[in-house]
Chain A
Amino acid sequence: MSKKYDAIIIGGGHNGLINAAYLAKAGKSVLVLEKRHVLGGAAVSEEIYPGFTFSVASYVVSLFRPHIIRELNLAEHGYSIIPMDASFQPLPDGDIGLCRWGDASRSRREIARFSKKDSEVYGEFSKIMTHMAKLAKQVIDHPAPDVASINPKELAALLRMGKVFKNLGPELLQMNTKLLTMSSADFLDLWFESEVLKGPMSVSGIIGTFLGVRSPGTAYVLLHHYMGELDGAFRSWGFSKGGTGGVSMACANAARSFGAEIRTNVDVSCVKIKNGKATGVVLANGDEIESKIVVSNLDPNRTYLKMIGENNLSPEVTSEIKRFKLRGSSGKVNFALSGVPNFCRKREGLEFMKGDIAIVPNVDYVEKAYDQAKYGEFSERPYINIVVPSLTDPTLAPPGKHVMSCFVQYAPFNIKEGAENWPKLADKFGDAVQNTIKEYVPDIDSLVEHRQVVTPWDLQERFGLTEGNIFQGELTLEQLLFQRPISGYAKYKTPIDNLWMSGSGTHPGGGIMGSGGELSAKSILNEKAI
């Protein structure tokens, strides 16, 4: 038997690496084990085709907590985000579409083509969301208080949260209630009249969720995404230099600089549990490594059912974890292109394409896309969020060539043919995406050199995201805060002593925030668990 570590972290995604960095910084001996040959989990850059680097899964960054960057010196370790300026929505029938810019007057003119009122209300909406996001950040940067506890610490935390709400004042408190309960489409109806404008705005409420823009509760997810626009700058959504893997690499470098050890190509089969306590991990090859604590960066489903195993869980916990909703609803299609895919030849230059491009001409479009998904089909005309990061970061593709990342929703994990048949459907799915894009970029077929289709099944098999859920569990109200992943175990703990969690399946959730990794590590250190 080899060395005994203070902590073993299962899974080298960004949260696992952040967790390792914080623990190592506190002087603990830390080992990170990653199953794949590359680090980063879903925040990964890979040269899939020679010369073309894809952000294979997650593709834009904004919610990453600024204090983590400071506390771990991530900028020194290569963390570098290039901001995105524009947000473009192409429209069919030769219309020049709608582009929203960092320049408020310019956006106003663009929106006024569809609704003069909306163009002016746009700023008021941002104002309200600023207030709301301010509140959400208060909630994000602390572990979720336990509402069932009478422990004075928990009560104090609850009180602090209550105070934040109280300070909102009646008007904003009402708004908050609406945000938590309404559908994203209904919520936007409170302000806007243009179905075109509401299209790309409403989809922020359904990303990674198996719900439609008219399903109640989706307004919260809208806010979750809106926070990114507010972290210091309006356009703080950005590309990580060198692809999203750059974020993970910076986290890994930071962790190593503090002394953490990181191994790739190591498959953990389960957590070693003795008398209800975790004592280390068992590898697929039979080797065992001991540690004082184990931190699982895997999703709740894998952590509980695979790493712990049903035998070590009570029936209540088992059934609750099985009801934890994952329901992957999206896929990715990544293209290697021989030239620029021009989404609007009527517009001058390419600036309008340097942010994200949203294929969602109106609200009905995306609701229709959801209709198909409800009954087990992928959307024939899906919502696609496209970025061409090589326009901004030329290191990603050979000169003159481009990488195009397409986030596609809906692609339900539980397809009617059966999830395991996704590989057979991958090409058809890729064609649906390419054909949808062809309506805006007629010459797309001739530009495609390579196409990588990442189905929800692939997200599960390759990245370990059960049912292909990109947030390690849906961001719906019943699975947030003190209920994430399940009530009673929302503070990064599990029913097994010395086994902790840190992934986006924990509070506050996904979106490359880094909070799961950070708050988990801080909880471990606070409790002097090692």
Chain B
Amino acid sequence: MKTQSLFSSKEELSFLRPIISVRNLWKRFPGVEALKNVSLDIFSGEIHAILGENGAGKSTLLKILYGIYVPDKGDLFFEDRKVVITSPRDAVKNGLVLVSQVPQLIDSLTVAENLSLSLRQFGYMSNVKKVSKFLSEKEKEYGVRIDPDVEVWKLSYTQKQLVEILRALLLDAKVIAFDEATTLLPQTEKEKLYEFMKTFKDKGGTVLLVTHKIPEAMEVSDRVTVLRKGEVIGTVKTSETTIDQIRYMMFGERLTQLNSYGYGKLSSWEGSETLTVRNLWVKSDYGVYAVRGVSFSVRKGEILGVAGVAGNGQLELIQALAGLRRVERGIIKLRINGSEINVTNKGSTLIRRLGIGYIPDEPVKKGVSLDNTIEENVAVHPKLSKFLISWRNVKSLASNLVREFSIVTPSTSAKAKVLSGGNLMKVLVARELTVSKLALVAYNPTRGLDEVSAHYVRRLIVNKAVNEGMCAVIASEDLDEIMEMSDVIVVMNSGSIVGVFKSGASREEIERVMVS
């Protein structure tokens, strides 16, 4: 990307005038308050970063600005005009264009066809060839080289991002919003993108950068707004702040209680590796390698934590371990009673039968069924019921789990959907721990739980490892969680393991490896 030539001349916009103002925005989803009274100003001609952990509300905010969600309460102002935005078209009309992590392009259409859909100067009956010619000219002007007649599915990820940016420019965007758009880009491409943002700013454009990577925000932004649990914690000038201050804003009080969570586990389990992974390569849904040559092994009674910023291959790794994602290269082996079994690509049924519990990502979507009762959600597991279901046994098992995990529910025969998110999560963890004779494979095992319950659930997992010799591979977006439970921590970045730490390692060090 030759960013230097990306722009034709554009008149300077007056500096420091709010181009987008958000006032008292509220948005509620079933079970969660996603935005709580959010107010925010984005000034013309700045690069404004919005930082926050997963679930902090930053993507909800962006979706509201872009007309995908409708807010429950609150107002939006674009250039001091109050606006109602109900579709991306409205947003574009007001000068805001989104570049997202997953390029919003239609794969089977050509680049020209895709962009024609956004370009209003071309009428519906106009020939796509005309658009294609127009694009060729514009591409020359901006110094971009992508064949407008090629179908999008043939493009690389970086090229797709480039098409999105080209689209923003063609639409005369005043504000370009990047939604975690750099997460999947290689480092060199990232830097080109940062360069582009700065150039765009210099030409009078405004950039809204939504990210959870602190260094990224520090590198390019002029100001940073931090969201936490749906609330604006504050907005600071980047030049007047430090990484530590931002970290404090993002993570809050939890930051102070870190570093020394180790349980002082008395694991008395000797012996060889229960779970061994060698040179594992796994593709993501977008067909690129998300796990690149990962190797590790986990011993009986040992808990391996997989740390990393979301989207660096942890999810694909966990799914591959559970037998739910194809392994392209490499081996997954289990050792049961002294004999080794190769379970690579042997299907999830075998893996689960062997005694591996699994807590999936998006637990509420994939791990429980809302329209069924708690008992049914327990009995569905092949290890927990025979052909004829003995509801009495299921009921007593379910009641035990409800008691042991202090699940709040009217009864075990209540439908799962009446439970709160946290209690649903407990049902899932309870069921999976019951069947984890050999190992537990988990992604965010305590997502959605309050601090106390989360500690409790972690304790149960650790106890099971210590007392029964279960081993576990636990990936989590919450570093505290990993530090609290793991014997060994590996850090994944861009699909590879970039660091291995023993329990008790310093948090700063792990974070540095995560976000570098």
Partners in one complex: no
